[in-house]
Amino acid sequence: MWILGAILHALYYISPAYCANSFAIFGFGKPVDGGRSWKGKRLLGDGKTWGGLLVGLITGMLFGLMWYFLSQSGPLNQVYYGVFDFRITDPFFGLYLALGAMAGDMVASFLKRRMGIERGKPLWGMDQLDFVLGALLFAYFLAPTFIILEEFIALLIITPLIHLLGNQIAYLTKQKKVRW
Ligand code: CTP
Ligand code: MG
């Protein structure tokens, strides 16, 4: 049951980053790199827009704020699951995770373009984990609470699986042309 607590708490903690990353697909407006290239390749590409960044940051912030308010007096105020404390004490918790998620996602796009991988073409591993690594890096330095190593490892395994599951649903509901 300890492992269940670890998985639950890890998903709970990372949820603003999942939120930011999912809602960024509703991006709009100008590309963050302003259409600029470096050595003949786009800096980030058209898949990173200011609108996506904004939507990701706002939704991630709101998601974290929800956990914060539920921690203040609501149902999460007394929730411990063994060693796992579910109280969020910083109202900006979600923003830190969203900022990290968006930064990690952009760093990944930057690296993909340098490797000559076009916008939207897959780079296995990085596409699924970039935002998680970015979010946890930011949270490690900014948020007053953090996760333990076992939870980190759980997230590295579970996130790609959730990604795969989401893509299967998108494929079966015909919102995506490829299965992965
Ligand atoms: N998106 C956005 N702005 C962001 C992040 C994402 O507008 N900051 C939108 C884009 O429409 C993007 C989609 O969300 O195509 C999916 O995001 P992602 O998979 O990260 O981008 P890709 O198009 O796959 O591009 P890349 O190869 O650079 O990862
Ligand atoms: Mg992609």
Q: For 106-119, what is each residue's pLDDT tens digit?
A: 999 999 999 999 99
Rounded to whole angstroms, how far apart are CA atoms 66 and 21? 17
Q: Which residue has the higher pLDDT, 169 or 81?
A: 169
Q: Is 24 in the pocket of ligand 1 (CB under 6 A)?
A: yes
Q: Is 57 in the pocket of ligand 1 (CB under 6 A)?
A: no
Ligand 1: centre distance to CA 45 (Å): 9
DSSP one-letter string for 134-167: HHHHHHHHH-S----HHHHHHHHHHHHHHHHHHH
- In ligand 1, the atom with minimum distance to the C-alpha of 127 is 29
- The Å distance, Cα 20 to ligand 1 centre, comes to 12
Contact at 8 Å (CB) between 89 and 27? Answer: no
Residue 79 pLDDT > 70, yes or no?
no
Long-range pairs, 19-22, Cβ under 8 A, ≥24: 19/59, 19/60, 19/63, 19/94, 19/98, 20/56, 20/57, 20/59, 20/60, 20/63, 20/97, 20/98, 20/101, 20/102, 20/131, 20/135, 21/56, 21/101, 21/105, 21/131
Is any ligand 1 atom within 6 A of the Cβ of residue 48? yes
Report yes or no: 146 and 140 within 8 Å, Cβ to Cβ.
Answer: yes
Cα(126) to centroid(ligand 2), Å: 9
How far, in Å, from the CA of 79 to the mean position of ligand 1? 36
Average pLDDT, the chain: 94
Lowest mean pLDDT among 17-21, 43-47, 86-90: 86-90
pLDDT at position 80: 67
Confidence class for position 87, pLDDT limits 50, 70, 90: very high
| Ligand 1 atom closest to residue 120's alpha carbon, by position in its atom list | 24
Instruction: Give residue 1's pLDDT band: very low, low, confident or very high (50, 70, 90).
Output: confident
What is the reported pLDDT for 83?
A: 81
Task: Report whether pLDDT(126) > 70.
Answer: yes
Of 75-84, 95-104, 125-134, 135-144, which range is least confident? 75-84
Q: Which ligand has its closest atom nearest to the C-alpha of 42? A: 1
Q: Which of 5-19, 77-91, 163-177 holds the top average pLDDT?
A: 5-19
CA of 101 to the centre of ligand 2 (A): 14
pLDDT tens digits along 46-63: 999 999 999 999 999 999
Residue 75 pLDDT greater than 80, yes or no: no
Cβ 131 vs Cβ 21: under 8 Å: yes
Q: Please determine, for residue 122, whether its predicted confidence score (pLDDT) is greater than 70.
A: yes
User: Does 91 score more than 70 pLDDT?
Assistant: yes
